[in-house]
Amino acid sequence: MSGIVGEAKTVRKLLKGEKYSIDYYQREYKWGEKQARELIDDLTGKFLEEYQPTHARKKIAEYPHYFLGAIIVSKKEGANYLVDGQQRLTSLTLLLILLRNLQRERDDLVNVDELIVSEKFGEKSFNLDVDERAPCMAALFEQEDFDPTDRSESVQNLYARYEDMKSAWPEELRGDALPYFIDWLMENVHLVEITAYSDDDAYTIFETMNDRGLSLSPTDMLKGYLLANIAENKRVAANNRWRSRIAELNEAGKEVESDFFKAWLRSQFATKIRERKRGAKPEDFDRIGTEFHRWLRDTSRANGLIGEDDFFRFIERDFDFYARHYLLAMKASQTRVPGLEAVQYNSQNGFTLQYMLLLAPLKPEDDPNIAKLKMNIVARFVDILIARRIWNFRSIAYSTMQYAMFLVMREIRGLDVQALAAKLVEQLSEQDETFESNDRLYVHQQNRYLIHRLLARLTEYVETQSGQPSRYPEYVAEGRERYEVEHIWANHAERHTDEFSHPADFAEYRNRIGGLLLLPKAFNASYGDLPYKDKLLHYRTQNLLAHSLHPDCYDRNPGFVRFVKESGLPFEAVPDFAKVNLDDRGRLYQSLAERVWNPQDLLEMGAQ
């Protein structure tokens, strides 16, 4: 057969009984946390607009349909090779695995297995068939532990995006509504499959769809609307200002332009957000996220855009001001910017909600120093909030934090420095989670990355307070020389039978925060399995937090000794690391955390 065939297919029809492969030269699976969250938000939001708990299951057939995009397939030797759409199809498969796992132990489960795997000659294989990904996919499918460390970029992203989707899944779709949603996803969500019977045809289609055409983006439409309402004698100046800033935003990244408008307009104008309940309708916050150009046009008068001068000021002053500060926040998220270090900490924890918060208190009349100080106060607030939640095993996922951060954003909009600091300290005082509220923080597979960051901050604090330069970038860098979370006790329960009667008790205690250090991967490989007394000598050559276990740290480090004396922190050498020492060390880490993430710092910043 030859030619090109295009067909709209439901998710069920696309995946049931079909196999898709990816040529070896195809790029890696690249989706990030943002794209995974948006997929969940878009699909669940569309479903919840229609769903009512009183509906019968069969009414799902009458719900609105949703178009998820197109995939391009090259048919070779009877097999389907994805030329375009592997990012979308991979993510859809991860979503189906999540839905399978959310249904475990339910009586009303919907069978999605046939969309994920198929069986031939007694052997199961994934419908999205890529050899290197199979072990990770199998672990997710069976809900088994999997360590993505040292795996390919695609495998690491697969694992991370599944965890992101799991965190982003809304609570209102975990109960009775879950099977309804799965029905809707399989039957009412469509993709267009374009099939070619030669690689040349397939890539011609790909290039045509991606390189040609002049469809207007939401930003283009917003620009047209704003400029049309500006007097002709000012239109050229406004257009030049717009083009200059848009060029900088586009230079910063592919989706930065769109993300900026969402963050800016939400930070300054959103007053309502969709309630997290069935049947709730999108509000300002939600509409800005999906159609900011239409939202601004519909609400222009309410937001002060009435006359020609208002529209001109909106571009010449407001757009220019907030775009510059958004770009500053982006730069600070990627590299250390003095006075905005916390922005990078938050970014490394995957907290994408911080941008709208950083812009919220800013006013176009703020001078650069005041604006930067406001951003720093907000970033430090977020930093403290995140650290406390991690310490208490609380999620920091977008879906979990979105509503609370919307309320904070609305509260701090346009505040001056002192009022901003006071309001954010008040917000922290109302939180249930503190470092004192959990004395049993421990590392596990899902929080290892976050614990790594906590330990990096604690280690950095001890060293900088002792007069040493910051090594935080080194502690969180990837690569062969990377640092890893190391257990002070090797994984040998038989060495600790005097204190633990059962290996499970030992394993639980071994993972607690007081029994952890941050050390180079090579160190762990060489010494990690040794008894504590044999490792202790080698800790002398490592960071101060590790070195502080050895007696000579208190003799040959005047800066550290001064820090211990002035701070009153319970540092002490530990010749033999027993259970009581791990407990003591845990309390030390808790005290350090209270200093690193101290809300009073916000008030001091506000008094500047």
Residue 263 in tokens: 């963050």
pLDDT of residue 473: 94
Query: pLDDT digit string (tens) for 88-129?
Result: 889 999 999 999 999 988 888 899 999 998 877 667 788 888
Residue 153 corresponds to which amino acid?
E
Whether residue 505 lies inside any domain: the answer is yes
pLDDT of residue 495: 95
Counting residues of the chain whose pLDDT is more than 70, the rounded percentage is 94
Give me the helix-helix angle, 33-48 and 153-168, nearest 10°. Answer: 30
pLDDT of residue 546: 96
pLDDT of residue 84: 77
How does DSSP assign 182-237, residue by residue? Answer: HHHHHHHEEEEEEEESSHHHHHHHHHHHHH---PPPHHHHHHHHHHHTS-HHHHHH
pLDDT of residue 295: 95
Averaged pLDDT for residues 391-413: 91
pLDDT of residue 214: 45
For residue 510, list its beta bridge partners. none
In a shared domain, residues 154 and 188:
yes
In a shared domain, residues 235 and 199:
no
Q: Name the more confident of 91 and 479.
A: 91
In a shared domain, residues 397 and 528:
no
Averaged pLDDT for residues 231-246: 91
The domain boundary, picked from 211, 231, 248, lies at: 211
Q: Which range of residues forms the domain containing residue 535?
A: 448-600
In a shared domain, residues 464 and 567:
yes
Per-residue pLDDT at 573 exceeds 80: yes
pLDDT of residue 213: 46
Per-residue pLDDT at 485 exceeds 70: yes
In a shared domain, residues 190 and 319:
no
pLDDT of residue 24: 52
Whether residue 434 lies inside any domain: the answer is no
- Side-chain-facing half-sphere of 86: CA atoms under 13 Å: 24
The torsion of the CA quartet 422, 427, 432, 436, rounded to 10 degrees, works out to: -30
- DSSP 3-state assignment of 35? helix
The domain boundary, picked from 160, 190, 211, lies at: 211
Averaged pLDDT for residues 470-486: 91
Lowest mean pLDDT among 1-15, 85-99, 430-444, 540-554: 1-15
Query: pLDDT digit string (tens) for 264-313?
Result: 999 999 999 987 666 678 899 999 998 999 999 999 999 999 999 999 99
In a shared domain, residues 327 and 463:
no
In a shared domain, residues 146 and 226:
no
Query: pLDDT digit string (tens) for 121-167?
Result: 667 788 888 888 899 999 999 988 888 888 888 899 999 999 889 88
Counting residues of the chain whose pLDDT is more than 90, the rounded percentage is 63
Count of domains observed in the chain: 3
In a shared domain, residues 224 and 200:
no
Whether residue 440 lies inside any domain: the answer is no
Whether residue 439 lies inside any domain: the answer is no
Whether residue 101 lies inside any domain: the answer is yes
Mean pLDDT (the chain) is 90
In a shared domain, residues 479 and 581:
yes
Whether residue 249 lies inside any domain: the answer is yes
Q: Name the more confident of 77 and 259.
A: 259
How many angstroms separate the CA atoms of 110 and 53, rounded?
Answer: 18
In a shared domain, residues 199 and 279:
no
* Sheet strand arrangement including 66-76: 4-10, 189-196, 66-76, 79-84, 20-21
Per-residue pLDDT at 212 exceeds 50: no
pLDDT of residue 78: 66
In a shared domain, residues 336 and 456:
no
**Is the entire prediction scored with pTM above 0.85?**
no
In a shared domain, residues 125 and 248:
no
Whether residue 608 lies inside any domain: the answer is no
How many angstroms separate the CA atoms of 489 and 399, rounded?
Answer: 37
How many angstroms separate the CA atoms of 288 and 607, rounded?
Answer: 35
Query: pLDDT digit string (tens) for 308-333?
Result: 999 999 999 999 999 999 999 999 99
Whether residue 530 lies inside any domain: the answer is yes
Query: pLDDT digit string (tens) for 215-237?
Result: 567 888 898 889 989 988 998 99
The domain boundary, picked from 211, 238, 260, lies at: 211
